[in-house]
Amino acid sequence: MTADEQTGFEVQIEVEATPEQVWEAISTTHGISSWFLPAEVVDRHITFHHLPGETSAAEITDLDAPRRLRFIEDDGAQATEFLIEARAGGTCVMRVVGFGFGGKGAEDGWTAALFNLKLYLEHFTGQHSFQVLAGQIVPGPQSRAWDALQAAVGVDDPAVGARVTATAEGAAPLKGVVEGRLERMITMRLDEPAPGIGFVGIGGPDEETVYAVLRTYFFGPGAEELAARDEPAWRALVAERVGVAD
């Protein structure tokens, strides 16, 4: 699943959804924002909102609904392609192919993002999410940051299938089951304080640029108010417990 680490990557996941449902999730403002980053899709332009205050722009260069979408960033230096293939039995394979990315960080990030996509399509498709985004660049190395982030939220390398609770003072606990797991990334299907998706992870292109991120996608009644109320507490936790050197 990995191309030349200096030039690109390829990851994929199988989901219980139609090609049209997957297309809606990858090509529209509310779709992308409900499992990936908050974004606006206008004509052939996408604006992504990453960490607080950080945005990036992408241009859609190829559009073949519901099979293929390709966009470029950084004046064409990076390209990302979504490929959708229907399978028998009502499932689809979604592949993400990236070009112009160095190192393993991009591959891990998209693998974790596809865990989100699977949960969204199989449990929340068509619904709007309201996100909590707590994240920033933190002191490395990544192993230090991962230990600090886990200790801060109260998890300890849980396996897929484990039930976990993440906490922050002033915020409702996040309770759910681990559905996806990488070395330093955890994806959860949440049932409290609202139905949704939770992500806790460390990433970055190298040991000098390390990102600590806690992100949730809440769905259903009261989700907007919950996200707005609790986001400051989660941001403070990451800043004060992870964003400082030992």
What are the chain's domains? 8-124 (3.30.530.20), 130-242 (3.30.530.20)
- Model's pTM, two decimal places? 0.93
Give 194-221 pLDDT, tens digit per residue. 999 999 999 988 878 899 999 999 999 9
Burial string for 46-77 (b: 16+ CB within 10 Å, else e) reads: bebbeeeeeeeebeeeeeeebeebbbbbeeee
Give 14-51 pLDDT, tens digit per residue. 999 999 999 999 999 999 999 999 999 999 999 999 88
3-state secondary structure the chain: CCCCCCCEEEEEEEECCCHHHHHHHHHCHHHHHCCCCCEEEECCEEEEECCCCCEEEEEEEEEECCCEEEEEEHHHCEEEEEEEEEECCCEEEEEEEEECCCCCHHHHHHHHHHHHHHHHHHHHCCCCCEEEEEEEEECCCHHHHHHHHHHHHCCCCCCCCCEEEECCCCCCCEEEEEEEEECCEEEEEEEECCCEEEEEEEECCCCCCEEEEEEEEECCCCHHHHHHHHHHHHHHHHHHHHCCCC
Residue 246 has a pLDDT of: 66
Residue 7 has a pLDDT of: 65
The rounded distance, in Å, linking the Cα atoms of 243 and 79 is 31
Q: Which amino acid is at 131?
A: Q
pLDDT along the chain (246 residues), means of 10: 57 97 97 96 95 90 97 94 95 95 82 97 96 94 96 97 98 98 97 98 87 97 97 97 86
Residue 206 has a pLDDT of: 80
